[in-house]
Amino acid sequence: MGRWRVPSTVLVCLLLLCLPPSPACPTACRCFSSGEVDCRAHALQEVPQGLATNISSLWLGYNFITVLEPHSFPALPGLLLLSLPHNRLGLIHPQALVGLGALQELDLSNNYLTVLTPETFLPLTSLAKLNLGSNRLEELEPEVLQSLPKLQALLLQDNPWVCSCDILPLWCWLSHNREKVQEKALLLCRVPEQLNKYPIMAFRNESFRQCQETSLSAQHYLILLTIGPFSFLASIFFCTFMGFITVAYQNMSREPHFWRKPRLCKGH
């Protein structure tokens, strides 16, 4: 049996050759065996390329990322946490988060986001925690939140909320999902001035009664702006036309001078 022994160094070499190669790590990141990838504070302007598909956490905070383009991330079926705070993020394309269906926590705080569409978070069917605090959101469509069926925790503090009648749909959603809203006391109005720093969650149904009775949509205002001048011009044309008809009728009802018989001159 001794002649079949293989030197230990040869065995080690064979094992190393049989092992699959370790996934590459982006140069601006630190990759850990636990599946975490730390790319914080490296002046990145976009999501780094070459991410391994088996990572579980991705930290991208404190960089200079301004836009998440379509398919900014490769398919990451095991990614559970994505952290993007303290960037310059102002736009998220509706297809930017495709391939992150397992994501459970997303931190987008301290960015420049002003608008979010319902399509933005559609791929995130497993998302449980969403942090949108300290952005530039003045309003938020409830459909954006309704596209997250497993959402359990939502942070919206430190945004310049406009507390007009347009915030009624968001207030309704927040009122029916109070248990999901974190830091309720920091969810404050910025505009109008008389409501500056007024807690949104302190509103009641009575606060929006006037909005429900008299509010008009932008489409209604456009219709009114179109109908108003048109009605004014139509009334002028109608009055002018009726005046012309009246004068013509009066002239025709009188006997014209040239219909009268001429008087004959009598001789002296």
Taking the C-alpha atoms of residue 47 and residue 91, their distance in angstroms, rounded to an integer, is 14
CA-wise closest residue to 132 among 85, 70, 189, 78: 85
Q: Is the pLDDT of residue 214 over 80?
A: no
In a domain, residue 233? The reply is no
How many domains are contained in the chain?
A: 1
CA–CA–CA angle 170, 175, 176 (5° rounding)? 100
pLDDT at 209: 87
- 218-249 pLDDT, tens digit per residue, is 565 556 556 656 666 777 767 677 777 777 76
Q: Where is pLDDT greater, at 109 or 118?
A: 109
- Tell me what pLDDT residue 244 has: 73
Residue 259 pLDDT exceeds 80: no
Segments of 39-90 assigned E as strands: 57-59, 67-68, 81-83
Q: Residue 267 — very low, low, confident or very high, per pLDDT cuts 50/70/90?
A: very low
What's the chain's average pLDDT?
84
Tell me if 52 is assigned to some domain: yes
User: What is the percent of the chain with per-residue pLDDT over 70, rounded to a whole number?
Assistant: 74
Question: Cβ contacts of residue 38 below 8 Å, gap of 6+?
Answer: 29, 30, 31, 32, 59
Q: Percentage of the chain surpassing pLDDT 90?
A: 67
Q: Which range in 53-62, 235-244, 248-257 is most confidently predicted, on average pLDDT?
A: 53-62
- H or E segment and range at residue 129: strand 129-131
- In the predicted model, is pLDDT for residue 15 greater than 70? no
| pLDDT over 60 at 60, yes or no | yes
**Single-letter amino acid code for the residue at 84:** L
Residue 54 lies in a domain: yes
Domain-located, residue 86: yes
Give the distance from CA 145 to its chain's centroid: 10
Domain range enclosing 40: 34-160
Residue 253 lies in a domain: no
Q: What is the mean pLDDT of residues 203-214?
A: 82
Does residue 205 form part of some domain? Answer: no
CA distances, 231 to each of 220, 225, 226, 252 (Å):
16, 10, 9, 31
- pLDDT value at residue 20: 44
Give a yes or no: residue 179 inside a domain: no
The predicted pLDDT at position 179 comes to: 96
- Among 173, 200, 175, 174, smallest CA distance to 186 is for 200
Has residue 192 got a pLDDT over 80?
Answer: yes
Rounded to whole angstroms, how far apart are CA atoms 184 and 69?
A: 32
Give mean pLDDT, residues 126-152.
97
209 or 189, which is more confident: 189
**Is the per-residue pLDDT at 265 higher than 80?**
no
Structure tokens at 244: 């012309």
| Parallel/antiparallel/unpaired status of strands 36-38 and 30-31 | antiparallel
CA distance 165 to 121: 25
Confidence of residue 2 (pLDDT cuts 50, 70, 90): very low
Element (H, E) at 227: helix 218-253
CATH of the domain at 135: 3.80.10.10
CA distance 136 to 161: 8
262 has a pLDDT exceeding 70: no
Say if 19 falls within a structural domain. Answer: no
Q: Is pLDDT of 77 > 90?
A: yes
